[in-house]
Amino acid sequence: MILRIDRLAIELPAPDHPSPNSASAVQELLGGKFGEMSTLMNYTFQSFNFRGRSQLKPFYDLIANIAAEEYGHIELVSHTINMLLTGSTTRGNDPSDTPLEHATDARQHYHFIASGQTALPIDSQGNPWNGTYVFSSGNLKLDLLHNFFLECGARANKIRVYEMVDDPVAKEMVGYLLVRGGTHIVAYAKALEALSGVDVGKLLPIPDISNKRFPEARKHEAKGLHQVMYRMSPNDYREISQIWRGPHPEDGSELRVVDGPPEGGPVPLHPEEPQLTSPIGPDGVDSGMLKDIAERLFGKETVRR
Amino acid sequence: MILRIDRLAIELPAPDHPSPNSASAVQELLGGKFGEMSTLMNYTFQSFNFRGRSQLKPFYDLIANIAAEEYGHIELVSHTINMLLTGSTTRGNDPSDTPLEHATDARQHYHFIASGQTALPIDSQGNPWNGTYVFSSGNLKLDLLHNFFLECGARANKIRVYEMVDDPVAKEMVGYLLVRGGTHIVAYAKALEALSGVDVGKLLPIPDISNKRFPEARKHEAKGLHQVMYRMSPNDYREISQIWRGPHPEDGSELRVVDGPPEGGPVPLHPEEPQLTSPIGPDGVDSGMLKDIAERLFGKETVRR
Amino acid sequence: MILRIDRLAIELPAPDHPSPNSASAVQELLGGKFGEMSTLMNYTFQSFNFRGRSQLKPFYDLIANIAAEEYGHIELVSHTINMLLTGSTTRGNDPSDTPLEHATDARQHYHFIASGQTALPIDSQGNPWNGTYVFSSGNLKLDLLHNFFLECGARANKIRVYEMVDDPVAKEMVGYLLVRGGTHIVAYAKALEALSGVDVGKLLPIPDISNKRFPEARKHEAKGLHQVMYRMSPNDYREISQIWRGPHPEDGSELRVVDGPPEGGPVPLHPEEPQLTSPIGPDGVDSGMLKDIAERLFGKETVRR
Amino acid sequence: MILRIDRLAIELPAPDHPSPNSASAVQELLGGKFGEMSTLMNYTFQSFNFRGRSQLKPFYDLIANIAAEEYGHIELVSHTINMLLTGSTTRGNDPSDTPLEHATDARQHYHFIASGQTALPIDSQGNPWNGTYVFSSGNLKLDLLHNFFLECGARANKIRVYEMVDDPVAKEMVGYLLVRGGTHIVAYAKALEALSGVDVGKLLPIPDISNKRFPEARKHEAKGLHQVMYRMSPNDYREISQIWRGPHPEDGSELRVVDGPPEGGPVPLHPEEPQLTSPIGPDGVDSGMLKDIAERLFGKETVRR
Amino acid sequence: MILRIDRLAIELPAPDHPSPNSASAVQELLGGKFGEMSTLMNYTFQSFNFRGRSQLKPFYDLIANIAAEEYGHIELVSHTINMLLTGSTTRGNDPSDTPLEHATDARQHYHFIASGQTALPIDSQGNPWNGTYVFSSGNLKLDLLHNFFLECGARANKIRVYEMVDDPVAKEMVGYLLVRGGTHIVAYAKALEALSGVDVGKLLPIPDISNKRFPEARKHEAKGLHQVMYRMSPNDYREISQIWRGPHPEDGSELRVVDGPPEGGPVPLHPEEPQLTSPIGPDGVDSGMLKDIAERLFGKETVRR
Amino acid sequence: MILRIDRLAIELPAPDHPSPNSASAVQELLGGKFGEMSTLMNYTFQSFNFRGRSQLKPFYDLIANIAAEEYGHIELVSHTINMLLTGSTTRGNDPSDTPLEHATDARQHYHFIASGQTALPIDSQGNPWNGTYVFSSGNLKLDLLHNFFLECGARANKIRVYEMVDDPVAKEMVGYLLVRGGTHIVAYAKALEALSGVDVGKLLPIPDISNKRFPEARKHEAKGLHQVMYRMSPNDYREISQIWRGPHPEDGSELRVVDGPPEGGPVPLHPEEPQLTSPIGPDGVDSGMLKDIAERLFGKETVRR
């Protein structure tokens, strides 16, 4: 089971301006083959499907715990997309003014038709995320090798989307995920080493570019964020510390486990887009409607907002 | 963000015997269009994408909170599948004995080739779950109507899989999910009523068969489980109680919010299947290997297990 | 636009017995790449998309008119599937009796979970029909060549399904469709000949087996059904007779247009399957419920059925 | 079976100018999850698959009859797409002039490569319509709830495409479909009410914007078009009048059945696009070719056009 | 088995300038339903699956041999795509400069995220090539008819992409493939004629435009390239000459077999794109790295490049 | 370009008996995510897309050359499937005898409807191979890591299919592919080591079971086949020897390059299945037909076979 916290892993800055095609590019990091849906679901299923857990508990704990952090990553990417899309069409209440005209030439029509200018589990070309992206062979060494590769592939995608999108909200999000994804690469390298004795970490970085080249990642690494594995559970998954220990393969700094999630930042408020009838019709949420709702919720007599 | 708890929502009983084709049927409840992956991801994305949250907080809280409970449901279905598959081929360490011979006639080859006799994000025919199953229009009334329909469709699927599979682990799991899914149906009915004044709950049950007809659901309802909405968060989503209140539409009993998750049961231990090299090779996890791993994890000198 | 007639193209005989795996095989003729959904949709889209209609009216009329007949074919295949599935599980009103137990080993779980033992737009392996099966290039010669090929491919599929399924309802349906599909092959051959002068009909039959080898087809050809093109419209598509004329390429008999649809047979009544809550719950449609419905439809006072 | 009529449901006005990206947006209303292919095929399959028809005839008639009207809607959307695409590249007969240059930057390459600047069964991102969009559970209440939801979702899509596309042909088409789709929403609401007694119509409009806000819809409602259910059959489906009766839920006006289809308008003539070899090669349909064809069709001696 | 030759079928000219949207259009000729992946894989599978080979050897040889030539065609299209994409973003080594900014508005994000500005087995809309595009019925006449149609459809696609893309490398590639694809059309026509006696070649050209209208094709035909079938094998497939003989159906010139492949041209060198870390990181392949690699390959002492 | 040789990599033994469900399992090794289509196409595209080839020639040569060997592997798997399917239905020429009756309960209907009891580019569940299985990032280290993982995943699949299928033809094929796939694993390990200095080969075997445990692989390794890289080209790819050298990571034996392909064995003759009209109609290829064909091929006067 999970408990959900109404916070994001970091605070996201306001975007410079609406940018639908950037939002489309960022979708690759959400619903692409190497997007956060994939990392989340791969580790989630591998944790469900773990055989021989009693004998190999540290490995189980590691995979299950990373899965939990990934949930926070689909969240972060989704809110970035939402912020890039907010305000990208003309707000108003007259549908015959063609308020969504700009959307017609945008790369991603689903953002304007299927959703209310918000994220979907699709990639940058509009293809849906799907379950063939999940690998769960049951052989531990093979699953760990897969995860190590998957994280490296995800890192390549993040770097390229970072290079495509010139907006602070996207750069901030990717910078953070490069660091956190980096810890997952190291974690799976350490796990492979524990299993086989091979120092796979020496292959890093893959691709051959350091996180230090990205200002928005560098600032987090300067604070040691790349050395931290969060234990995303009130009481469980404590044996991750048997794998997450020793020196970081890239800078030799000491790895450490932090109990509990990062402090994080607030979940952004996404304003109404009345021309998309989101969340309500073209005239927006007015106080009369709220009063009606409140009366239904609390009974007529008790409403006094 | 989420915190993960290493417990299942209920304790699953041991299956009577391995049953691969039953496991294949149960996959529909995991990765099918109306499976738990769909309920999880629909509400998760709707919560990310909610516009006008500050004005409509109770609705946001409700959707976000139900999303959190759904995670526990993909978990429950996955472990049921794993238990039905465990032991379904001949354990052994000689691959030339054709130990997976029975798998050749099984309905679901992926269970034996892609996974180590465990769950995958696929449906009963082997088609992968995909993102087109997520609906997130941004219009609150439409999203709620969708969710109400989705839960009713999911209920129909659960009933039919229950009727296909004659094994206590599956019946126990479905019985529980009928009750919990039933609370989600009611929650979306209440939310639609709050928004519009229409008593949608009077349409229930859909399909036209009461949960009371299922012994494994009836026992939970007898204890009032259908009246409870768990608040799946340490501190957030408190406004669900503004919607989750008043009488249950089917039996008139009083709805109530319980803070925190159900007590639940242990996560099942899935034994090794060495013929599938799961988790390690055909000779299984032996003590020499564990000693090697431990030495790598802790250093040679400190190992003394 | 279309008008719909509540009749099937032929009367379907009762099946010998329920036969779920046969129903699964027949799905290929409905939702497969060469199924009736494909012929229907190919010609329908080609008729919408026809350029230069005023100059090439006989070709337009032919394609549009054949499209209309194909609708009757998806109908015929669907009802055959429904009849093969009816009664294939244990009728009853206690879900805990595992009434769908036989479905667990059936090839096609969707028939029992997604539908109420009825047809779906899928193929024999459960893959959905999809729009990539439609070819509409806009070049008339190429579209006609496609259609000629498509019909020959569809014929091959029909022959093979006929050889798989030993039930009178399936054999009757395929026999009829072999004859009608045969007329479409000839029609496209004639159209290609009109356009190019090449006697493509001399390639027939493809595959190299005559309809006369199939008793259920032979009986229709004995009555001349292979010489007839029905004009499926009250007043339109009259110029089909400019193409559908002259000798049949296989037996030399004279082709002729019949105005209007075949007389056909009744649409089969599919009985309730209460264990699938189809159409209502497990206790079936009872007179009390019908009375309630009637009162709602007509008002309390006027009900007297 | 069906009879086809060579008329559209309304007369479509000429577009202002070719507009390929608008055509791409309109594709969502044809081949999208909530497009007209989906409404057509959902009701068509539900009508084939209806169990217990003899007892619940009005519901069968309603679903079967609406299916028939939907055919006219895929037609209408397809012709709108064709008109928006006609003339969107440079007409001519020299392929080395790069006549399709503008297509290279268009959103939808399939319109120029797979088709001759015409409609395809795909959505706005080029993903094909597929059979997973069809819901046919066999449980009447669930199927009706689905249809009610599907129509509301389709309405949301129509509104958004209307807001994207600033061309009279698209606005006219959507305006009409908003009204006709509106009658289907009401029809399913009435059917649900008949079955359950719940006045689902009070939820309308979904999304929360009236058809009256759309000039191209308003004009039809002013004439009462929203009160009419066409009976799309020469002789059948007469019991729709048992459900389609009483007051319209939004304006209280009286619902009524009209026997037969709307008068409609002519099927547009789509001119040649010789650079796409549509319908013939780059030099177009010339009289010599027509003469050759005619001679083949009628024999040399009888040709005298 | 195959032997591979490090040469292309022709020498490709340098492109005028990078042109990402043109590259996207050209993808249709690689991974589209009618792209070279389809022709390659259709004939490859038909050759594996040929029944009755001993009696029908010339047909087997023809299909197997054409399959071998098609490999050279996926190569040619892929390199064209690569050349159109090379240099399409800003080369450099600082990722924070948004070097891929231009990619954000490009039609095909996969070219910049999934690949290093190179070809993928996808079509012009980003949908992946898939195995449903392969037809292998086992009936020889039907398979040949399919292949004849497939090649005509592929020809239509080539013509349209030629008309979209105004760059010498694309026009040169398409011009050559029109001629070579043309020989395959003729080959399947001849094979059908051998089997049935029908002179299918008289239907040509399909679409109705001669290769002579394309300067880049005309120059090859002037040299007789359309009369040649290459025998793509050291020692096998000699019986193709029993089918590939007699007059060309379009110009009557004599067909002839050439033993061995065309002389061809060099495989283009694709330069580094360091901003995409292709092939190595952002600072490119430097001599230090090469020295390190060489030392690992040859041992420290022997390196002296 | 390629040259094709009409030989298989090894001689395949006759199967014990037809075995359609085994053939279905073997399909995973052909068209599955980790099947031979995937290895073939991954390396083929990576070789087309290689940037910086002049500086990194040994890596290019290695990838391009392994791609060429993989073609021989799709061939081997396909013929195995064909042999397992041959004779699996009742041969005969009367379609009304239900000769394909056994196919109705088989797992893979496509084998009997879409193909003539032969291989297709699909996996064990009937899902088509597709281009999303190809990874070609352009970053050499990442691509090599992918290939190393892909080969290990493919090895896991081979082992499991070997354990499912008890027929000599399948076991022989898998035994050979385990050895050859093993050389590809080593090759990519060596290439990664050359690039990074990390001895990735020490991770092997993955999964943790030696090829020596499989009699049909052991016999090849006893002859040193695991030490050999075939150079699959008349004159090219010579620099593979710079990577393929030194000791084998599992047994320390010396690696060596062999110029040219293995000697191999004959391509199996697949007999007619007349009930599937393969290759001709139900009465098979008779001498009259062959005479007709020969006359068409050679002219009447010259036929004297």
C105: amino acid identity, one letter: D
- Read off the tokens for D116: 């001759």
CA-only gyration radius of chain C, Å: 22
A107 touches chain D (CB under 8 A): yes
Average pLDDT over residues A232-258: 97
> Percentage of chain A with pLDDT > 70?
98
> Percentage of chain C with pLDDT > 90?
93
pLDDT in tens, C73-86: 999 999 999 999 99
- pLDDT (0 to 100) of residue F305: 42
Test mutation, D109, D123, D272, D285, chain E, max E CBs within 10 A: D109
- pLDDT (0 to 100) of residue D302: 60
Chain F residue with minimal CA distance to E286?
A: F55
For residue D113, the chain E residues in CB contact (below 8 A) are 25, 28, 32, 124, 157, 160-161, 164
pLDDT tier for residue C284 given thresholds of 50, 70 and 90: confident
- Read off the tokens for C95: 């879900």
D224 touches chain E (CB under 8 A): no
> Which of A286-295, C179-188, D187-196, E189-198 shows the lowest per-residue confidence on average (mean pLDDT)?
A286-295
Chain B residue with minimal CA distance to D209?
A: B139
Whether residue A163 and residue E104 make contact (CB cut-off 8 A), yes or no, is no
Interface pTM, i.e. ipTM:
0.97
Q: Is the pTM of this model over 0.95?
A: yes
Average pLDDT over residues C265-272: 98
C135 CA to centre of own chain: 19
C144 touches chain D (CB under 8 A): no
pLDDT in tens, D155-207: 999 999 999 999 999 999 999 999 999 999 999 999 999 999 999 999 999 99
pLDDT in tens, A123-159: 999 999 999 999 999 999 999 999 999 999 999 999 9
Average pLDDT over residues E105-122: 98
F125 touches chain C (CB under 8 A): yes
pLDDT tier for residue D305 given thresholds of 50, 70 and 90: very low
pLDDT tier for residue A305 given thresholds of 50, 70 and 90: very low
- pLDDT (0 to 100) of residue E303: 53
| More confident: D174 or E295 | D174
Query: Of C101, C107, C89, which Cα lies nearest the Cα of B167?
Result: C101
Q: Does residue D304 register a pLDDT over 60?
A: no
D69 CA to centre of own chain: 9
User: What is the three-class DSSP state of A114?
Assistant: coil
Whether residue A146 and residue F153 make contact (CB cut-off 8 A), yes or no, is yes
pLDDT in tens, A175-214: 999 999 999 999 999 999 999 999 999 999 999 999 999 9
Tokens 């290279």 belong to residue? D104
Q: How far apart are CA B73 and CA B79, in angstroms?
A: 10
Whether residue F207 and residue A132 make contact (CB cut-off 8 A), yes or no, is no
- pLDDT (0 to 100) of residue C290: 80
Q: Does residue B303 register a pLDDT over 70?
A: no
**In angstroms, what CA-CA distances link A151 with A30, A179, C46, C248, E96?**
14, 12, 47, 64, 21
C·E CB contacts under 8 A: 72
pLDDT in tens, E55-76: 999 999 999 999 999 999 999 9
For residue B200, the chain D residues in CB contact (below 8 A) are 198, 200, 203
Whether residue B164 and residue C104 make contact (CB cut-off 8 A), yes or no, is yes
| B58 touches B242 (CB < 8 A) | yes
User: What is the three-class DSSP state of A78?
Assistant: helix
pLDDT tier for residue C305 given thresholds of 50, 70 and 90: very low
**In angstroms, what CA-CA distances link F214 with B96, B224, D191, F172, F182?**
6, 57, 65, 10, 13
Query: Of B169, B179, B163, which Cα lies nearest the Cα of B119?
Result: B169
For residue D141, the chain C residues in CB contact (below 8 A) are 280
Q: Does residue E301 register a pLDDT over 70?
A: no
Q: How far apart are CA B62 and CA B14, in angstroms?
A: 34
pLDDT in tens, B139-182: 999 999 999 999 999 999 999 999 999 999 999 999 999 999 99
Q: Does residue C32 register a pLDDT over 80?
A: yes
Phi/psi of residue F268, nearest 5 degrees: -60, 145
Longest dimension (CA), chain B: 71
For residue C196, the chain E residues in CB contact (below 8 A) are 202-203
Beta strand pairing call for C2-4 and D2-4:
antiparallel
Average pLDDT over residues D232-238: 98
Q: How far apart are CA F50 and CA F30, in angstroms?
A: 25
| Local confidence pLDDT in tens for the 305 residues of chain F | 999 999 999 999 999 999 999 999 999 999 999 999 999 999 999 999 999 999 999 999 999 999 999 999 999 999 999 999 999 999 999 999 999 999 999 999 999 999 999 999 999 999 999 999 999 999 999 999 999 999 999 999 999 999 999 999 999 999 999 999 999 999 999 999 999 999 999 999 999 999 999 999 999 999 999 999 999 999 999 999 999 999 999 999 999 999 999 999 999 999 999 999 999 999 988 777 788 888 887 776 665 44
| B184 touches B151 (CB < 8 A) | yes
- pLDDT (0 to 100) of residue E305: 42
Chain D residue with minimal CA distance to B156?
A: D137
| E271 touches F51 (CB < 8 A) | yes
Average pLDDT over residues E198-214: 96
pLDDT in tens, D101-128: 999 999 999 999 999 999 999 999 999 9
Which runs of E-coded beta strand occur in chain C?
2-4, 7-8, 228-231, 256-259, 265-266
Q: How far apart are CA B97 and CA B84, in angstroms?
A: 23
Burial of B69: CB neighbours in 10 Å, binned 0-12, 13-18, 19+: buried
Chain F residue with minimal CA distance to A143?
A: F153
> Which of C60-69, C123-132, C286-295, E251-260 shows the lowest per-residue confidence on average (mean pLDDT)?
C286-295
**How many Å lie between the alpha carbon of E277 and the closest alpha carbon of chain F?**
6
- pLDDT (0 to 100) of residue B305: 42
| A117 touches A271 (CB < 8 A) | no
